[in-house]
Structure 1
């Protein structure tokens, strides 16, 4: 179990706090899920440099190539790391007929569909920016472009750190292991992002 201070920062031997208030938004009262990402860059420093910009997007944690874990935002703050969310009932094939009728015309209108989903109470929708933590793993696409890009493999050191971090976060914050997702599972991202992440 992790100790979280009044600012939402972790006091743990395995976590280096490197907070960027530039990626923090409003207060987050409840963490319902965790979303696992890959950075798109080849170094932790490239992410840190982008986080320095006012209004930058980013996640709460970052795992470097050697397995070093950085906390980059307070767990009490929203960060923009998820983007537009998919329809949970559509993806999980659990929509009622009336829900399906409502969302069917929006399936290719991501912004409108996300707005509709965000109005739903959790867990009828996926965890979004307002109620999830983001974990970035340093890694970039090695081939292909756009949606067809193929991300590099998450290495063993990164996966060991990811397993430890997710186990600690889920225990400390009482998040169900069924609510841990790869970014493309809940949003419209490159399909291979975090595809080799293991927890």
Structure 2
């Protein structure tokens, strides 16, 4: 991405194959206090990561090429179950995977995610293979089960960057941008503050 607001600082360890199409954008929180700790992890060879990282002062780093897949989504939740849109056969298939005997919950959740990944977007939630990830620095607060409030600079820059990507890929802001916690097996609140600001300004 070429813009004076973005410092390109890419890390091969978080780039995994060709990103052939982009259908959506996923908003994340880092559960860290600074961008430096995330960048150091990438530099040390961490495999998971996202395409962009936004520091508390609003500085944006592009940490992976937009032509490369990043492992930023993880284990997908079943979209039609969450949204009560499954047809009876599909609901039966998903429930069979969710309640398969003899497997740990982790394994069953991964099997559901693999099943979801056989579907085309938007029948499923965004996957690594077709989405861009934006990480925003901020710690998780166990006492509130939420993340620390993003700074105004982070909110402004997240909204700006998201709009740039929506325009570039010809996406729909209200239907193709997601908080991580709403689509994957993560903390439910991850990214929710960011998404709310993008949608409502509050």
TM-score computed with the length of structure 1 as normaliser: 0.90
Provide the secondary structure at the position in 2 that maps to 1:27.
Answer: coil
- 2:184 maps to 187
- 2:102 maps to none
Question: 1:141-156 to 2 correspondence within 5 Å?
Answer: 141-144=140-143, 149-156=145-152
Is 1:159–2:155 an aligned residue pair?
Answer: yes
Give me the whole-angstrom Cα distance separating, in 2, the residues matched to 1:76 and 1:91: 30
Is 1:43–2:43 an aligned residue pair?
Answer: no
Select the structure that is richer in strand: 1
Is 1:82–2:78 an aligned residue pair?
Answer: no
- Aligned alpha-carbon RMSD (Å): 1.3
* Cα deviations by residue, 1:48-93 (Å, 9 ceiling, x for unpaired): 0111133521000011101111100001100100001111111111
Is 1:196–2:193 an aligned residue pair?
Answer: yes
- 1:129 maps to 128
Is 1:60–2:30 an aligned residue pair?
Answer: no
Number of residue pairs matched? Answer: 187
Q: 2:85 aligns with which of 90, 94, 98?
A: 94
Deviation, 1:32, is 0.8
Deviation, 1:104, is 1.3
Give me the whole-angstrom Cα distance separating, in 2, the residues matched to 1:140 and 1:62: 14
Q: 2:13 aligns with which of 22, 28, 33?
A: 22
TM-score computed with the length of structure 2 as normaliser: 0.88
